Chain A
Amino acid sequence: MSETRKITVSALTRVEGEGALNVCVEGERVVDVKLTIYEPPRFFEALLRGRAIEEVPDITARICGICPVAYQMTSVHALENALGVQITPAIRQLRRLLYCGEWIESHVLHIYMLNAPDLFDCHSGIELAARFPTEVNRGLRMKKIGNRLLEVLGGRAIHPVNVRVGGFYRAPTRDELNLLLPDLRWALQASIESTRWIAGLEFPEYGQECEFIALQHPDEYPFNEGMIASTMNSPLVVGDYESHFAEQHVKHSTALQSVHRDTCETYLLGPMARFNLNRDQLYPAAKQLVNELGIKIPLVNRFHAIIARCVEVVHAFEEAIEKIENYVPPSPAYIQYAYRDGYGVAATEAPRGMIFHSYEITAKGEVSKANIVPPTSQNQRQIESDLKDYIQRLLPNKDEVIAANCEKLIRTYDPCISCSTHFLKLTMQRL
């Protein structure tokens, strides 16, 4: 006998954006899972047309208040690619330093405020702080130091103002950056302690085999450039991104979803993917910590993403200290350029995973076409596929239990679709 049960459970909080989860079960089989994103569209790719290229990093930052630097960095690299501009090594180092600040701020927010509460069945980071004041306060202080780095380098932490095509409006002085060193050194130790604490906790177990994709660079842990590397396929140059990956528009989501163009296969980006593909490029203290904690490679349990995030925070503090100790202000702070007709692409590593931009520009210095592919839209299909598999395993449980567990699984991907999702309703249809 087939019975239809429709259950709606309010679920997904502590993520960025708005969404819902619809599950369809026939008998003992999960037949369909749809992660619905109903974040209202804001049409960035359309409104960028006709704007001066100099305005692009200020506008694209507004896609996401959690990772504005990722949008700014990808924009300026893609525009420089279109203009044929080569930035200097000193500018490149300063951009990496800025990205360190954003990874710290975004990762620590996710670790302490959004993700760790789940490991103790707390509703929020604030509740977690009541139980673990030392650990959460340490996290908040680390986050503040990351924000401070963004403020010195970018003017402010959310929507920094100092990034421009060709470099920076103004290079910070050595003194300005040196003042950050004592705090950064404290934070490096704190992030190591923090990783030991998190890695020692108990985690739920879930991870099906999947393809991990991240940028890969011969000399560095990836931030601003590299080949598109995969745990299953050969590496690609960034210029081949659009011919290799396709964005699909489905009815249930205002976020477009990415898949491999030829096979329609899904893939997963983010800290686990970067860690699995680039662990040899971690800075020494981070690498040593990985060995000390015996973190096995590859990480596949999705609930372990928080550990990869912790290790990346250690790396980011360590690299920030090194960059500041060796800092020589780039002079000039930006490279001059001449307008020309062109097309340019870039991919960088946002805290949540690889982000891709392409632009067509005119000889008047205006954008004529823009394509922006954020990490969450690339992960969405893989998240759905994981959920389908996960719910199948959880099926004997009550719907509330399934919902609560799905919510926790979804949070591990750090989805962001306003980069976007605050309120998720689980609709479970049992046929």
Chain B
Amino acid sequence: MRTVRVALLVLLAILYLSPFLFMAKTSLAPRAGGAFPDFGNYAALLGDARVLRFTLNSVVVTFAILAGNLLFASMVGYAFARGRFPGREPLFLLLLATLMVPKQVLMVPLYLLVVRAHLIDSYAALTVPFLVDAMNVFLMRQVISSIPTDLEDAARIDGANERTVFLRVVLPLAAPGLAVLAVTTFIAHWNDFLYPLLFTTRESMRTLPVGLALLSQGEHSVDWPRLMAGATIATAPVVALFLVFQRRIVDGLLKGGLTG
């Protein structure tokens, strides 16, 4: 019984890890005249201005969106959790309703909006529409609602202004929620494909996933080892995050659904 279980577990590991091992193995394939673990493909990538640019774009876009969501989603979540303003309930329902609208309904009008604003091939187009994610607002509202209000009240009685209450009292207490937000937002936008594809036309503005996908469709024959080196680089930050924050990432992503 135990042997069967161990065998099944090994089979499962092979099934789920072998594509990635193949990716890593291909990326180390020897170039002309080399021996097996040949880091030549990585060296070649570092000399490839295009791939460096894809990586830079991915880093800039992902961190801008991450920063926006850390600040804005917690501000809005705080307003929903602590505000007692008229219209709060309908607005919150509206927030949840935006989660139901499929991406494909918004992709054409958003593209036209970006075209009309002359923002195709700009970092603005790749970041601004994604700075306040409804899912993140929902998460932060839940997190902040679960924090007792005593400390905020105490700070106000001590004369703290609203900004201080938010930045010095609420945000530190919401840190575990912010950590979940940070890793899931990083992964979602580091991996994002559709909007970076639609909003860019110049090769110099492509992000890593889009740039690599288009390199695999060039007119010349595909240089798989080099492409797999690029794929490995695109995957490395996610692997690192996953190894450290596995439980939080799994919990966070199970709430949001598997998205392309």
- Is B one of A's binding partners? no
Which residues of chain A have a CB within 8 Å of any CB of chain B?
none
